[in-house]
Amino acid sequence: MPIQQFTARDFRCLSSIELEPDQKYNLIYGANGSGKTSVLEALAYLGRGKSFRGAPTTSLIRHGQREFVLFGRVGGDGRQGSVGVRNSADGLEIRIDGDSNGGAAALAAALPLQIIDPDVHFLVAGPPDYRRRYLDWIAFHVEHGYLEVWRRFRRALKQRNAALKSGSTAATIRGWDAEFVALAGQLDAGRRLALEVATAALEEAGQDLLGSDVRFEYRAGWNEERPLLEALEASVERDLLQGSTHAGPHRADLKLIYDERQARRLVSRGQQKLLACAMVLAATETAQTALEQPLLLLLDDPAAELDAASLRRLMGRVGSLGGQVIATSLEPVTGLFAASAAVFHVEQGELRRES
């Protein structure tokens, strides 16, 4: 069971809440502005060390307060632990089982979670960095060592870009490229492997949610007809001119092919949401299998944009994953889940269990 007990203090509108979720299905309902998204965002922050909406941390501290504190008891089946986060003007403090040496990656390992919120369609229709993050999340959970490769590549890219900006010669830049290319190759291989592992789950989710074939089409981030070293060589003058590197895995993208069309261009908003949900559920399933543990899935207003039949299909698929689900809605809807759920009401930032 991913999260057994959760407390939040001074996070957005939540002054102090305590949540003891059911190990399976949970519903948090309340009026507009009552604090539903705040509860899910607090949970997501505890699992990521940052806002899933990209909100700056200072905007998350409750007005008039100096810090927020989040705490959770996590795990189950013999693997119990605790995660805590405190954020103030002094920065972020993370504690895993009382130990403050881990960073955001340690949080993500201790409380792996995925989110479906009303902006989930950005995964399909938004810029490529949404999909790179998606891909990296899968690879992080599936492959030991991926995070280290990713960090080393980021460092190499930063150094190369700094050299480009500082007016180095093309020859000096070339001196960086062997390491850059080696790390890029490892990162690319890790991403390809992650996609390979997630493909079957995406196909199944696509069939379940949209009744059609959905598949990934991966772009490495450079013209793949030639080696990256050649692509770097070909663009070195432009790189120098613009002070940034134009070829490499930081430019990777993932296209989603839906009914043999490119999903980003041709589907309706509701279909975009279903496609994005298929992606999120495929990632969740893939990580669950790799980690051999149920994950936490946060569903913020899952009904938004979906007709009744689509919502039913989505919730059916969510249920079949077998993880822990915390969903929000405006009303205490019965029948959202396939089985009974713990129900919580939120009102003006106060959370109360109802059943």
Ligand X SMILES: Nc1ncnc2c1ncn2[C@@H]1O[C@H](COP(=O)(O)OP(=O)(O)OP(=O)(O)O)[C@@H](O)[C@H]1O
Query: Which residues are near Mg ion by CB under 5 A?
Result: 36-37
Q: Smaller CB distance to ligand X: residue 259 or 301?
A: 301
Q: Does 302 sit near ligand X (CB under 6 A)?
A: no
Q: Please provide the size of the chain in residues.
A: 355
Of the candidate spans 61-69, 88-96, 119-127, 182-190, the one that interacts with ligand X by CB under 6 A turns out to be 61-69
Of the candidate spans 30-38, 164-172, 280-288, 316-324, the one that interacts with ligand X by CB under 6 A turns out to be 30-38
CB of 353 to ligand X, least distance (A): 17
CB of 297 to ligand X, least distance (A): 17
CB of 32 to ligand X, least distance (A): 4
User: Which residues, numbered 329-348, are part of the site for ligand X (CB under 6 A)?
Assistant: 330
Single residue of 5, 33, 155, 238 touching ligand X by CB under 6 A: 33
Q: Smaller CB distance to Mg ion: residue 37 or 87?
A: 37
Rounded-to-integer distance, Cα 94 and Cα 10, Å? 17
Q: Does 38 sit near ligand X (CB under 6 A)?
A: yes
The three-state (H, E, C) secondary structure of 198-263, written as one string: HHHHHHHHHHHHHCCCEEEEEECCCCCCCCHHHHHHHHHHHHHHHCCCCCCHHHCEEEEEECCEEH
**Inter-residue contact 49 to 107 (CB < 8 Å):** yes
Q: Does 35 sit near ligand X (CB under 6 A)?
A: yes
Single residue of 59, 80, 159, 172 touching ligand X by CB under 6 A: 59
Q: Smaller CB distance to ligand X: residue 111 or 303?
A: 303
Single residue of 26, 37, 186, 235 touching ligand X by CB under 6 A: 37
CB of 111 to ligand X, least distance (A): 20
**Inter-residue contact 16 to 42 (CB < 8 Å):** no
Q: Smaller CB distance to ligand X: residue 179 or 350?
A: 350
In this structure, what token pair is assigned to residue 5? Answer: 């007990």
Question: Angle at the Cα of 341 (from 340 to 343), degrees rounded to 5?
Answer: 135
Rounded-to-integer distance, Cα 277 and Cα 283, Å? 10
Q: Does 121 sit near ligand X (CB under 6 A)?
A: no
Provide the Cα torsion 183, 187, 188, 193; round to 10°. 140
Residue 13 interaction partner, one of ligand X, Mg ion, none, beta carbon < 5-8 Å per kind: ligand X
State the first-to-last Cα distance of the chain, in angstroms, to the nearest integer.
20
Name the residue with the smallest CB distance to Mg ion.
Answer: 37
Question: Which amino acid is present at 317?
Answer: R
Q: What letters, b where the CB count within 10 A reaches 16 and e where it falls short, cover 226-249? A: eebbebbbebbeebbeeeebbbbb
Q: Smaller CB distance to ligand X: residue 34 or 324?
A: 34
User: Which residues, numbered 62-81, are part of the site for ligand X (CB under 6 A)?
Assistant: 62-63
Question: Angle at the Cα of 324 (from 330 to 254), degrees rounded to 5?
Answer: 90
Residue 272 interaction partner, one of ligand X, Mg ion, none, beta carbon < 5-8 Å per kind: none
Q: Smaller CB distance to ligand X: residue 63 or 144?
A: 63
Q: Are strands 67-76 and 350-353 parallel, antiparallel or unpaired?
A: unpaired
DSSP H helical ranges for 14-78: 36-48
Residue 271 interaction partner, one of ligand X, Mg ion, none, beta carbon < 5-8 Å per kind: none
Which residues have C-beta within 8 Å of that of residue 281, sequence separation ≥ 6?
Answer: 201, 205, 209, 317, 318, 321
Q: Smaller CB distance to ligand X: residue 30 or 84?
A: 30
Positions touching ligand X (CB under 6 A) are 12-13, 30, 32-38, 59-63, 330
